Amino acid sequence: MVGGGGETQIDNGGGGGIQIQERRRLPLPDFLQSVNLKYVKLGYHYLMTHLLTLCLIPLIFISLIEASQMNPEDVHQLWVHLQYNLVSVITCSAVLVFGSTVYIMTRPRPIYLVDYSCYRPPEHLQVKYQQFMEHSRLTGDFDESSLEFQRKILERAGLGEETYLPEAMHSIPPKPSMAAAREEAEQVMFGALDSLFKNTGIKPKDIGVLVVNCSLFNPTPSLSAMIVNKYKLRGNIRSFNLGGMGCSAGVIAIDLARDMLQVHRNTYAVVVSTENITQNWYFGNKKSMLIPNCLFRMGCSAVLLSNKSVDKRRAKYKLVHVVRTHRGSDGKAFNCVYQEQDDAGKVGVSLSKDLMAIAGGALKTNITTLGPLVLPISEQLLFFSTLVMKKLFNDKVKPYIPDFKLAFDHFCIHAGGRAVIDELEKNLQLLPLHVEASRMTLHRFGNTSSSSIWYELAYIEARGRMRKGNRVWQIAFGSGFKCNSAVWEALRNVKQSPKGPWEDCVDRQKN
C-alpha cells in the first residue's frame, strides 16, 4: 500500500503530538539528477542478453543484399564450389539447424492481454465528504484533532464525491467482521470476473493459471480458492494467492503469470488484483495511520492473459517488459508502510513521513534499469555519455535527463494520492495529458490499491486515445518498499470493453 495526502505533512515531533503543516518537507527527490551507475549497468545487462539477436539481424540483412546482386554465373560458381566442399556444407548446415532449434526452444513466448475488466460498485455505496466526516464523528472513536486531520486529508488528496466504500462501513456504527470482509471480496472479485468472462467468451474451465493478490485480507480458504469454488475451475489449475505485497502487487502478479505461461503451453492465465477495506479500517487517533482511511476505496481488476498465437488477432496488448525493484534491505524503506498496533492496541497501516523520498529512490532504481530497454538509441547514448563524463572527468557535469515521452505514449501512474502524481509529473517532465488518467482515476474511484493502474488504462481507452503500436507504462509502488513497472504495446486501436468503469461518466469526469 502507498498513498499521498496532497499538501499535508505529518510531523511526529519530540513532544509526542502530531501536527499538520501546509507544505511538504520531504517531496519526491529529483532522482533524475542523481543516477546511480550500478543500476544503469543492470539495465544494459538486460540489453546485452539480447545482443545475439541484435547482431544477427544486420548480418541477415547484408546477406540478402549480397544475394540480390548475384547473377546466374555467380550462382553456378557457388554451386561448383560447394560440390567440392561437402564437409563444410554439412558442418554449416548442422550448426544452422542446431542454432535455430536452440533459439526457437529458448526464446520467450509472447504474452497477450486478451482483455480485462474493472469492477464498478453500485451507486448506493458512494461516499461523499460530508457523509464520510459525519460517520467518522458518529462512531465515537475519533477525537476532534483526528476528525480535523481527516477533513484536511480529504480536501487535499484529490478524491471526488463518488468514490465507494463497502457496505459494512456505511453502517453506524461500522460493522467490520470476517463475514462482511468475505462479502466485500466476493462482490468485487466475482463482479470483475463475471464481466471478463462475458466480454471474452472464455469458459472458466479454460483457465490454466490463476493469480490473486490482496495485501491485507488473507482468509482461509484463500481468495483464489473462493474463485475456484465459485466458477468450478479445473482441478489441475495452477493457483496462487499473494498477500502483504501492497499496491505494487498487481504488476508482481502479472510477472508471475507471465512466468507460468512460459512453462505451460497453450493456456490462459487470469490475474485478479484487489484490496479489502472492511476489516482494515483504522479506529484510532494516530495521525499516520488515519491517512489510509481517507485514501483507500473499493476496487478490483481481472486480467486475461494468453500465450496462444491465435489470440494475437483479438488481443488488446502484448506484454513487452516487467521490471521489479525491491528496497526491503533498507530499514527505512522496509518500515515506511507498516501494519501495526497503536498505543491503544488498534491495528492500522502507518505511513512514514519519509514515504515520498523512499518512493523516489525506488523509482530512480526502477527507471534506470528500465531505460536501456525502452529508450531510443539516441537518448541512451546521450544519457550514457553525459553520465560517464560526470563520473570520470567532471562531477559538475549535469547528467542528461532522458525523455521517457519518446519511449511511451501513455502513462498509468499508481493513483496513490495527489502528491504522488504531482511529483512524478514534475520529475519525469510529463505533460498534464500524460497524468490525466491517474488524476481522473483518483478523483472518481480513489486509491484502489493494486487495481488502480487498470482503471487508468480503462480511462485511456474510454477516451479513444489508444492506437495500434502505442506503448503504455504502468508504474506501481508498494510496501516493502517496492516499485514495479510493466510495459504493454497495443496490437490494435483499442476501444473500451462493454460495461467498463468509465462507460457513462468519462466525459462528465473530464469536464
The C-alpha angle with vertex 407 and arms to 403 and 413, in degrees rounded to 5, equals 85
- Angle subtended by helix axes 436-445 and 418-427, to nearest 10: 180
**Residue 448, helix vs strand vs coil:** coil
Is a pLDDT exceeding 90 seen at residue 78? no
The mean-pLDDT minimum among 19-28, 416-425, 479-488, 501-510 falls in 19-28
pLDDT for the residue 509: 53
pLDDT for the residue 93: 75
pLDDT for the residue 3: 55
pLDDT tens by residue, 172-203: 888 899 999 999 999 999 999 999 999 999 99
pLDDT tens by residue, 340-364: 999 999 999 999 888 888 998 899 8
Alpha-carbon gap, residue 271 to 85, rounded angstroms: 56
Please give the average per-residue pLDDT across 63-86, as a whole number.
Answer: 70
Please give the average per-residue pLDDT across 486-507, as a whole number.
Answer: 90
* Catalytic residue IDs: 247, 326, 410, 414, 443, 447
Alpha-carbon gap, residue 182 to 167, rounded angstroms: 12
pLDDT for the residue 9: 42
Rounded to the nearest integer, the mean pLDDT of the chain is 85
pTM comes to 0.82
Most confident of 7-16, 36-45, 94-103, 185-194: 185-194
User: Which cell goes with 32?
Assistant: 533524475
The C-alpha angle with vertex 423 and arms to 147 and 451, in degrees rounded to 5, equals 70
Is a pLDDT exceeding 80 seen at residue 508? no
The mean-pLDDT minimum among 107-121, 353-367, 449-463 falls in 353-367
Q: DSSP H helical segments within 201-286, as ranges?
A: 223-231, 249-263
Alpha-carbon gap, residue 411 to 404, rounded angstroms: 10
Most confident of 34-43, 57-66, 100-109, 478-487: 478-487
The C-alpha angle with vertex 377 and arms to 374 and 383, in degrees rounded to 5, equals 90
Task: Let me know: does 116 contact 317? Beta carbons within 8 Å.
Answer: no
Domain 112-490 has CATH 3.40.50.300: no
Q: Is the CA virtual torsion 185, 420, 461, 479 positive or negative?
A: negative
The mean-pLDDT minimum among 74-83, 221-230, 321-330 falls in 74-83
Break the chain into its structural domains and give their ranges: 112-490
pLDDT tens by residue, 129-140: 999 999 999 988
The mean-pLDDT minimum among 56-65, 310-319, 337-346, 479-488 falls in 56-65
User: Which cell goes with 34?
Assistant: 542523481
pLDDT for the residue 477: 93
What dihedral do alpha carbons 57, 62, 65, 71 form, nearest 10°? -130
pLDDT for the residue 95: 75
Task: Let me know: does 37 contact 391? Beta carbons within 8 Å.
Answer: yes
Is a pLDDT exceeding 90 seen at residue 267? yes
pLDDT for the residue 226: 97
Question: Cβ atoms within 10 A of the Cβ of 334, count?
Answer: 15
Nearest to 118 by CA among 392, 398, 502, 479: 502
The C-alpha angle with vertex 399 and arms to 397 and 402, in degrees rounded to 5, equals 160
Is a pLDDT exceeding 50 seen at residue 337? yes
Nearest to 246 by CA among 391, 362, 159, 135: 362
Q: With pLDDT > 90 as the criterion, what percentage of the chain qualifies?
A: 61
Most confident of 4-13, 288-297, 389-398: 288-297
Alpha-carbon gap, residue 358 to 351, rounded angstroms: 11
Is a pLDDT exceeding 70 seen at residue 425? yes
Q: DSSP H helical segments within 400-471, as ranges?
A: 418-427, 436-445, 452-462
The mean-pLDDT minimum among 37-41, 90-94, 109-113 falls in 37-41
pLDDT for the residue 291: 92
Is a pLDDT exceeding 60 seen at residue 206? yes
Is a pLDDT exceeding 60 seen at residue 5? no
Alpha-carbon gap, residue 250 to 252, rounded angstroms: 5
Task: Let me know: does 271 contact 242? Beta carbons within 8 Å.
Answer: no
Is a pLDDT exceeding 90 seen at residue 234? yes
